Copies of this chain bind each other. A is one copy, B any other.
Amino acid sequence: MGAAEETHDEAGTGAPARVRLRFAPSDLDVKVPGGVTVFDAASWNGIAIDSTCGGHGTCKKCRVRITAGEVPVSKLDSRAFTPDELRDGWRLACRITAQADLDVDVPPLVTRPKAATVGVGRQVILRPSVVKRHLQLEEPTLSDQRTDVQRVMDAMDDLEVRAGIDVLRTLGKVLRDAKWDVTAVVADDELIAVEAGDTTARRFAIAFDLGTTTVVANLLDLDTGTPVAVRSMLNKQQPFGADVISRISATMMDPDALGKLRELAHETLAELTDEVVAAGDVAPEEVYEVVLAGNATMTQIALGIDPEPLGVAPFVMTSDGYDGLRATDLGVRVHPNAPATVFPSLGAYVGGDITAGILASGLDRDRRLRLFIDVGTNCEIAVGNQDRIVSTAAPAGPAFEAASIQCGMRAAPGAIEIVTITDTDVELGVIDDAEPVGMCGSGLVDAVAELVRVGLLDASGKLITDEEAADRPEALRRRLVTVDDQRAFVLHWAGEPGDTDQAVYLSQRDVRELQFAKAAIATGWALLLEELEIDPSEVQQVLLAGSFGSYLSAASAIRIGLVPKLPIPRIISAGNVAGEGAKMAVLSRQERHAGRALIDEIEYVELSDRTDFNDRFVEQLAFPP
């Protein structure tokens, strides 16, 4: 995306909200935000495509064949392929931005990569903390009575390792049954297993993104750095409320709730584990490490730590990081001695998911000044570059998840996700092309942005009166109605036109909800930019992270003032950066340490005690001119 030319295209939406990609031969069918590269989309969905440059268009190894759908030939494609190949649909995956549904044929890997591409075009040199060594040991004799564990360690004298009681319990039997031909498994500085024979080719780990709503598991092959399987499911804690505050409240009301919530988190992680190992044809005991990225509340609950102080001022975490954890502490049934790494949190509301996301986006290593926004009920914002990064949390409320919106719904089939107002009427994009039954967050943002664009909503956020609408086309005028004593704009007449009972509409109150939400976020980045003494126009890239951010229309986000007014190509969907950061930590000790170091490098700015916050918030309520 970085190489795409910056064109000022404020009117269009740049790319469709979702496109469908079908990958062969894995036969995986996925929907991804329009505009992401096929290379990234494949990586996010656990499909390995050859690459040594990390998606920057220099290695020309990410060759794929488009078997259905139109893809233009880029300059690099012309250099990488013969005219015949180009005619046959061959393209470089990192150069294809998904603008329409495509069928993509992925050749098998030809090189064993020394590096993997994850995150926002981040290339990670493969150096997992889990290392295997095949050892052919000499049998002990009366003149060589070294202890069993010493014998193993002496055979790996370039590694400084220690051994816990769990591996020692069976060591003697394993060594003797295997006739001293074994494979040692080391994670960081700990000997976690000794296995009979040579098992060096089998070495896996799981990266988890533990979201409040959705939980994702990525099974990775540590020997090759390639993804093996990825699965996601709703967090089983949902019955305790949709957001972190309701889950914290539950623990404050009921002394048993923390235990139950912890158990539900463990069940979610355990089921996902079962699914990815089954999908990847991997034994659970071959998974030697797990890494988890989650917000501070999800992390504390999963570890069984009382989250109450996160929920009340002054919003204090028990700890920013956790050492010495095992996968079993997260309820995950993999190798019983597998360590667990949990991404550290910057603050009660800028959690480990954001640390992982910032790691995945490379915010701290890029010269460009970039703005990272994870849009959600709690919106996390970070801005900066390799010199300095500041971050904060903005309490956006549930508007973007459409929970407090009268006709709001989750991004599920039947949800309006795209709204376009034409000269004469309204056109809708609905998930799965189903009959519209409500609108999700991106539909809400689109609807408001379009109403502002065509002037049916004024800059203050007020739907115009019938008098003011008198010169508008009939179809649009009829959509301006009054429901329950308040002004509303109907997006879809489910029954007869004019019958508001079954209609999907946007109410004046909904608009206000969105204004409050986007003002909180805009105040957040505006204050952070001030802290850095930078004008919003100087921001070189805006990364919209998280599942909602990925499906947001860049043009609409600009129109309502959710992001600074910038050329549309500077606004990009970053995908599930938390999960990508977790993958990076699995694949590389260095990246993991870099993730830990972010805690000290990033300055956390608390907004709730800023005296100018409310003034700035009021300024941001209006829609930009």
A interface residues, Cβ below 8 angstroms from B: 140-150, 162-165, 168-173, 176, 303-306, 308-309, 313-320, 322-325, 329, 347-348, 604, 606, 608-609
- Do B608 and A142 touch across chains, with their CB atoms under 8 A apart? yes
Beyond A172-B309, A172-B316, 12 additional contacts (C-beta under 8 Å) are A140-B316, A142-B606, A143-B606, A143-B609, A146-B316, A147-B317, A150-B319, A163-B319, A165-B322, A168-B303, A172-B305, A172-B318
- Do A140 and B317 touch across chains, with their CB atoms under 8 A apart? no
How close is A163's CB to chain B, nearest CB, in angstroms? 7
Q: Which residues of B contact A347 (CB under 8 A)?
A: 145
- Do B606 and A145 touch across chains, with their CB atoms under 8 A apart? yes
- Give complex CA distance A162, B323 in Å: 8
User: Across the two chains, which residue of chain B brings its CB closest to A317?
Assistant: B147
- Give complex CA distance A362, B304 in Å: 47
- Give complex CA distance A430, B309 in Å: 69
- Do A140 and B314 touch across chains, with their CB atoms under 8 A apart? yes
Known: A141-B314, A142-B608, A609-B142. A169 touches B319 (CB 8 A): no
25 contacts between A and B (CB under 8 A): A143-B606, A145-B314, A145-B315, A147-B316, A147-B317, A147-B318, A147-B319, A148-B309, A148-B316, A162-B323, A162-B324, A163-B319, A164-B323, A165-B303, A165-B322, A165-B329, A168-B303, A168-B318, A169-B304, A171-B305, A172-B305, A172-B308, A172-B309, A172-B318, A173-B308
- Give complex CA distance A315, B170 in Å: 16
Q: Which residues of B contact A608 (CB under 8 A)?
A: 142
Q: Which residues of B contact A142 (CB under 8 A)?
A: 313-315, 606, 608-609
Q: Which residues of B contact A320 (CB under 8 A)?
A: 147, 150
Identify which of B170, B176, B319 contacts A149 (C-beta below 8 A).
B319
- Do B172 and A348 touch across chains, with their CB atoms under 8 A apart? no
User: Across the two chains, which residue of chain B brings its CB closest to A348?
Assistant: B145
Q: Which residues of B contact A314 (CB under 8 A)?
A: 140-142, 144-145
Q: Which residues of B contact A145 (CB under 8 A)?
A: 314-316, 347-348, 604, 606
Copies in the complex: 2
Q: Which residues of B contact A319 (CB under 8 A)?
A: 147-150, 163, 168, 171
Interface of A is mostly: loop
- Give complex CA distance A170, B258 in Å: 12
Q: Which residues of B contact A316 (CB under 8 A)?
A: 140, 145-148, 172
- Give complex CA distance A170, B148 in Å: 39
How close is A142's CB to chain B, nearest CB, in angstroms? 4
- Do B609 and A306 touch across chains, with their CB atoms under 8 A apart? no
How close is A323's CB to chain B, nearest CB, in angstroms? 6
Q: Which residues of B contact A315 (CB under 8 A)?
A: 142, 145
User: Across the two chains, which residue of chain B brings its CB closest to A315?
Assistant: B145
How close is A181's CB to chain B, nearest CB, in angstroms? 17
How close is A265's CB to chain B, nearest CB, in angstroms? 14
Q: Which residues of B contact A162 (CB under 8 A)?
A: 323-324
- Give complex CA distance A150, B609 in Å: 22
Q: Which residues of B contact A609 (CB under 8 A)?
A: 142-143
- Give complex CA distance A513, B431 in Å: 91
- Give complex CA distance A175, B163 in Å: 34
How close is A592's CB to chain B, nearest CB, in angstroms? 18
How close is A150's CB to chain B, nearest CB, in angstroms? 7
- Do A168 and B606 touch across chains, with their CB atoms under 8 A apart? no
Q: Which 7 A-B pairs have the closest CB atoms?
A: A142-B609, A149-B319, A142-B314, A147-B317, A140-B316, A172-B309, A148-B318
A147, A304, A306, A347: which has the most chain B beta carbons within 10 Å?
A147
Q: Which residues of B contact A163 (CB under 8 A)?
A: 319
User: Across the two chains, which residue of chain B brings its CB closest to A329?
Assistant: B165
- Do A165 and B325 touch across chains, with their CB atoms under 8 A apart? yes
- Do A172 and B141 touch across chains, with their CB atoms under 8 A apart? no
Identify which of B309, B348, B606 contacts A176 (C-beta below 8 A).
B309
- Give complex CA distance A329, B348 in Å: 35
A164, A173, A309: which has the most chain B beta carbons within 10 Å?
A309
How close is A413's CB to chain B, nearest CB, in angstroms? 41
User: Across the two chains, which residue of chain B brings its CB closest to A153?
Assistant: B319
Q: Which residues of B contact A144 (CB under 8 A)?
A: 314
Q: Which residues of B contact A165 (CB under 8 A)?
A: 303-305, 322, 324-325, 329
- Do A171 and B318 touch across chains, with their CB atoms under 8 A apart? yes
- Give complex CA distance A140, B313 in Å: 9
